[in-house]
Structures are given as structure tokens and as C-alpha cells.
Amino acid sequence: MGKEKVVLAYSGGLDTSVAIKWLQEKYNLDVIALVVNLGQPADIEAVRDKALAIGAVESYMIDARKEFAEEFVLPALKANAVYEGRYPLATALARPLIAKHLVEQAGRSGAKTVAHGCTGKGNDQVRFEVSVAALNPFLEVIAPIREWGVSREGAIEYARKHGIPVPVTKKSPYSVDENLWGRSCECGVLEDPWVEPPADAFSWTRDVSQAPDEPDYMEIDFRAGKPVAINGKKKEFVKLILDLNRVGGKHGIGRVDMLENRLVGIKTREIYECPAAIILPLAHRELEALTLERDLVHYKAGLEQKYAEVVYYGQWYSPLKEALDAFIDKTQESVSGTIRVKLFKGNAIVVGRRSKKSLYDYSLATYEAADAFSHESAKGFIKLFGLPIKVWAKKQRKQESR
Ligand code: ARG
């Protein structure tokens, strides 16, 4: 009888590399490695081959860039989902998609178990395991690094003993995660929240002092909430995101330095680089301001915060998230038009907006002769609108004079 199998989400890094050997030794499992390409700048084919060299019985590579952009990033953009007002959720959006491919590969390979390389301190373990449970509640999950409780030095030692290649290049002091929607950077000196991030913490964006002296203008076309063209040129969503990352990064746009509340109760200092994920929500929000009725915009803002929390907490596959998507999709029907954004010296600034669905009415807004707003109606409106406060104020007076 053959051995039982486990499908491991493999990144090529130290933790998931030692996990291959550890799963074999500790659980006597055949390890099937799964590498998911979400636009991280790694050499994905080399990563796939590395898993085989270490001892995985099979290793698969999935190009999920388009799926990630269309089915994960886009719904989050429609929801303007930004955690704690600043983090556009790149890592949080990626985990449920990786989990989906783990579950599918387990089905194809007849594996009863999947594995991930997360520690016990982060959000990612929650996102992987809750997503796997939602997609196949009968699968087992093993988290080798969490279970083993190994230190970084211990992992390197273990790798050496088992002939697992450890990158000999000057070890980055940071823990980095990257995909199309952003890059995160933690650890090292960044663990002191008072210390300004050193230059080597960044890789996608220039320092503002190095930004060009001429601005770039981006006219972003949206159709039903989806960005479809830049400066009149139609672009696939993946390409459009990559272009904005490049141009935005050149202007020093997209750096976030924040103190963040993890789901597991820890406050953590995070550095993000995410030019496209700053520019697109900015433009998208502005187009909503132009095309959505007032009460809808206000009500949606509350749900946006909830949406971000649901994504951050790993509840991507959940009835609440499905219901939120239905609401948000309905709101996007009229979100079509063009937003003009100026990129300059670290700032992305909206400088123009237009839409066939625009609710902006010049004759209502203008202070010039064409004004069609009913000024006499304002008087009665204020009387009734302010009535409860007036009643309250009179009562206050009476009580004070008693
Ligand atoms: N703090 C961010 C989040 O929770 C980034 C996590 C990065 N993950 C990682 N394994 N390095 O989504």
C-alpha cells in the first residue's frame, strides 16, 4: 500500500522547504508541493523544481494571476476594502485563493491532508484553515512550523542536516510577502515602532526624494466598478495593476507604515508597498462619489469597513461575504466613467472626473445665472429639519431657568 499524501502550499522559502522533509519524517507522508503564482516576482519554475530536489514526490505550479485579479482583487476594489483605513489586504486576499487550489489539488491527488508554512502568531494560519474548512470540511490541515515550534536558526540547522539549499546570499532581515496587489515587510528593526523604516525595507517604490520632477497623469476608465483602460488604452486587469505599480512606484506612491491589529490579538508594525492598491481605490471612490446617490454612498461606507474586516479575518468563503458581495455588485451598476489622477512626489491626487452616469447637476450646483435650485424651498426645509433641535433647545432653557 502506498503512503498517504499531503498537499503543501509551497513558496520556496526556508519554512516551507524544511516542512517538506519534516512532513516526511514526522508523519511519513508523501509530499505534493503546490506553487501558486499570484504575481510575486519569484522564479516560479525554479521554486517548483526546488520542491522536487528537496524530496517532494510531485510538484505543481499554478498560474493564478488572472483569477486572483478578477475574482479576489476586483470584488475587494468594488468594496473599497482597506483594513483599518490603510492596508489594502494583498496577503489577506491571496490566502483564500491558495487554499482553494490546495483543496482542488488534494481532490485530484486523493490526499486527505493539506499543509501550510504559517507560524502560530499570524493571520495567515487562520485564513488558510478557515478557507480550507469552508471548501472541504473533511480535509485535515497540518501546520508544520506552528506544530514544530522551530526557531529560524533551528530551521537553518535542520536544512543543512538534510541538504536543503538555504539561500547563501546576505540574508534579508525581513519577512516579506508579495503578490500583484502589494508587498508586506515585517521583522528586523521594523519591530521597533519608533524606528523609521530603512531604505532596504522597500523594493517596489522610490523614496519621494528620488521621484521625478514632472508628474504623470493617469486617466482611468471604469465599467461597472472595474478598471478597464488607462489613458484611453484598454488593458487586462492584471496588466493594468502592474502598470500602476510601476508608474506609481516611480513617483514614490504606495508606501504604508502602520501599526495594525492582528486577528490573534497582537499589535504589529507593518510596512506595505502597494501603488496600484492606493491609486485604484482612490479613483474608484471618486467615481462612486460622482455616480452614486448620497444615501447609498454613506451606507456603503459602513459595509466597506465590515468587508475589509471579513477579508482580513479569513472569512472569504462565508455566507456574510457572499451577501455583502451581492449588495456591492448591485451598487456598481452605475459606476462607469473616467477619473483623472495626477501622480507626483509621493501623492496620487484626483484632478478630474466625468461619467455618462454622473449625478452632478450643473444647474443645481452653480452660483451663476443658470442656477435652477429652489432657494425658497430651503427656508421651509431648514425649519422642519431643525425642528427637533429647536424643541430640545427650548426645553433646556426652561429647565435652566427653574
Ligand atoms: N499583516 C499582513 C496581514 O496580516 C501581512 C502578512 C504577511 N504575511 C506573511 N506571511 N509574511 O495580512
Read out DSSP for 68-107?
Answer: HIIIIIHHHHHTT--BTTTB--HHHHHHHHHHHHHHHHHH
Provide the pLDDT for residue 399.
87
Residue nearest to atom 8 of ligand 1 (CA): 177
Confidence class of residue 122 from pLDDT cuts 50, 70 and 90? very high
- Say yes or no: CB of residue 184 within 6 Å of ligand 1: yes
Provide the pLDDT for residue 153.
85
Q: Is 43 a catalytic residue?
A: no
> Across residues 157-179, what is the average pLDDT?
83
pLDDT at 58 exceeding the cut of 80: yes
For the chain, the distance separating the N- and C-terminal CA atoms, rounded to the nearest angstrom, is 93
Task: Label each residue of 107-155 as H, E or C.
Answer: HHHCCCEEECCCCCCCCHHHHHHHHHHHHCCCCEEECHHHHHCCCHHHH
Nearest by Cα to 241 from 184, 183, 185, 182: 182
Residue of higher predicted confidence among 90 and 169: 90
Residue nearest to atom 1 of ligand 1 (CA): 270
One-letter amino acid of 180: L
Task: Label each residue of 185-204 as H, E or C.
Answer: EECHHHHCCCCCCCHHHCCC
Provide the pLDDT for residue 1.
65
* CATH 3.40.50.620 holds for 5-65+90-172: yes
Residues 169 and 76: their CA atoms lie apart, in Å, by 36
Residue of higher predicted confidence among 274 and 1: 274
Q: Which of 72, 121, 124, 260 to mutate to test the pocket of ligand 1 (most atoms within 8 A of CB)?
A: 124
Alpha helices in 202-269 (DSSP H): 237-250
Residues 251 and 186: their CA atoms lie apart, in Å, by 23
- Supply the DSSP string of 336-353, one letter for each residue: -EEEEEEEETTEEEEEEE
Provide the pLDDT for residue 171.
61
- Say yes or no: CB of residue 91 within 6 Å of ligand 1: yes
- Ordered by start, the domain boundaries in the chain are 5-65+90-172, 179-354
Confidence class of residue 402 from pLDDT cuts 50, 70 and 90? confident
CATH of 179-354, one of 3.90.1260.10, 3.20.20.70, 3.40.50.150, 3.50.50.60: 3.90.1260.10
Confidence class of residue 180 from pLDDT cuts 50, 70 and 90? very high
Residues 13 and 10: their CA atoms lie apart, in Å, by 8
Nearest by Cα to 75 from 280, 230, 257, 256: 280
- Say yes or no: CB of residue 123 within 6 Å of ligand 1: yes
pLDDT at 164 exceeding the cut of 80: yes
**DSSP code of residue 313:** T
Q: Is 401 a catalytic residue?
A: no
3-state secondary structure of 36: strand
Q: How does pLDDT run across 342-372, given as a tens digit for each residue?
A: 999 999 999 999 999 999 999 999 999 999 9
> Across residues 193-217, what is the average pLDDT?
97
Helices 237-250 & 275-291, crossing angle to 10 degrees? 110
List CB contacts of 245: < 8 A, sequence separation 6 or more.
180, 204, 254, 274, 275, 276
Q: Is 269 a catalytic residue?
A: no
Helices 14-27 & 152-161, crossing angle to 10 degrees? 60
Provide the pLDDT for residue 165.
86
Distance in Å, CA 185 to ligand 1 centroid: 8
CB 132 within 8 A of CB 142: no
Provide the pLDDT for residue 42.
86
Q: How does pLDDT run across 229-273, given as a tens digit for each residue?
A: 999 999 999 999 999 999 999 999 999 999 999 999 999 999 999
Q: How does pLDDT run across 315-352, given as a tens digit for each residue?
A: 999 999 999 999 999 999 999 999 999 999 999 999 99
Please, what's the largest Cα pairwise distance for the chain?
Answer: 93
* Mean pLDDT of the residues in the chain: 96
Distance in Å, CA 373 to ligand 1 centroid: 51
Active-site annotation holder among 48, 65, 95, 269: 95
Q: Is this prediction's pTM over 0.85?
A: yes
Distance in Å, CA 205 to ligand 1 centroid: 19
> Across residues 21-39, what is the average pLDDT?
97
> Across residues 143-160, what is the average pLDDT?
92
Q: How does pLDDT run across 260-306, given as a tens digit for each residue?
A: 999 999 999 999 999 999 999 999 999 999 999 999 999 999 999 99
Residue of higher predicted confidence among 346 and 400: 346
- Say yes or no: CB of residue 355 within 6 Å of ligand 1: no
> Across residues 136-153, what is the average pLDDT?
94
- Say yes or no: CB of residue 92 within 6 Å of ligand 1: yes
Provide the pLDDT for residue 172.
73
Provide the pLDDT for residue 379.
96
CA distances from 101 to 38, 47, 53, 142 (A): 12, 17, 22, 16
- Say yes or no: CB of residue 270 within 6 Å of ligand 1: yes
Percent of the chain scoring above 90 in pLDDT: 93
